[in-house]
Amino acid sequence: MRLRPLQIAALALLFPLVACGSDTDEDAGRRETSQSPSAGQPAPAKEAPRPGDQTVAMGWKGQERVYTVHAPPGYTPSKPLPLVVVLHPYPADGAYAARLTGFNAKADEEGFLVAYPNGVDQGYNALVCCGSEDDVGFIGAMTKRLVGTWKADPQRIYATGISNGADMSFRLAVELPGTLAAIAPVSGGYIGTAAENPAFVPKTPVSVATFVGGRDTYYEQFEQGIKSWSARLGCEPGRPERVEGGNTRTRATCRDTSEFLTYRLPDMGHNWPGSKDPTMGEQATGVTATDLIWEFFDAHPKKSS
């Protein structure tokens, strides 16, 4: 994922450089336009499952890792709820992901748990950047803890995110076998060196709903990632359906019983459809990703291969 030198220079002027492993052209190309972490985010507290927001710290490989949990009104650990893991872009944090996506309000409306893990130095070690941490292991341990402590339903664990977070959701689908029922990458893709390996595919069925903007700088790479995933898992697409505006939706059924749903939004860039966020949101797409993602997740509990 390489940018021309002038593009890289422009990005360097616009955004502060944050350490995230090697400073390659590929890394520079994935620097995001999101806001920096929120001042005033609550300090990590001792975990006590209850409704509302709670920021939790856990030790992982010698570091303190932090995530925030949102539980809907009336939540009680006696009733297992679905869990949606929402992954932020780079550079950002879980608080920004919550504002951008609006998943807390959706969770309150529909009755599910949301977790927002923070990456180290504002990024995740995903498929093309940003860092070298064991984020797969950390997020896997976090989900197990949420199943054990918060009683999240292990048959209904999902991941979504945008850009670096979207790439991370693809990595989790492959490297956390048996954990996720479905993922929903937004403005991100099954790309990078790892994804070039034909063996880099989920060992258990993971359904996918992805949102790709026609004006996204990385559109062609995301499309190639969709083709690679579909070819390796034997996904047979149906005919594209028209949705709001000039957007289309293509549904494919895969050999392992999973499903791959692609929303193509020709007038969108590197954004979250339907969000009011002034930086990475895009209201003019005619669709609201958060609503469509939950609809997809709700219809896709874990499957057996």
Nearest Cα neighbor of 183 from 288, 83, 53 is 83
Would you state the structure tokens that stand for residue 158, as one six-digit string? 């999902």
CA 287 → CA 108, 164, 250, 277, 282, distances in Å? 20, 22, 15, 15, 9
- Which domains, from first to last, does the chain contain? 5-33+46-298 (3.40.50.1820)
198/183 Cα distance (integer angstroms) = 20
pLDDT one-digit tens code per residue, 194-242: 999 999 999 999 999 999 999 999 999 999 999 999 999 999 999 999 9
The predicted model gives 77-81 an average pLDDT of 95
Identify the residue whose tokens are 């996918």: 208
- Reported as a single tens digit per residue, the pLDDT across 144-199 is 999 999 999 999 999 999 999 999 999 999 999 999 999 999 999 999 999 999 99
**Range with the lowest mean pLDDT among 18-22, 52-56, 109-113, 130-134?**
18-22
What percent of the chain lies above the pLDDT cut of 90? 83
In this predicted structure, the answer to whether residue 8 has a pLDDT above a threshold of 90 is: no
Spatial CA neighbour of 211 closest among 244, 180, 179: 244
Name the nearest CA neighbour of 183 among 211, 160, 201, 212.
160
Query: What pLDDT digit, counting tens, does each position of 32-73 carry?
Result: 544 444 444 555 667 899 999 999 999 999 999 999 999 999
């030790």: which residue's tokens? Answer: 59
Written as six digits, the tokens of 122 are: 């504002």
Q: What angle do CA 76, 136, 290 make, to 5 degrees?
A: 55
Q: Judge contact between 57 and 138, C-beta under 8 A.
A: no
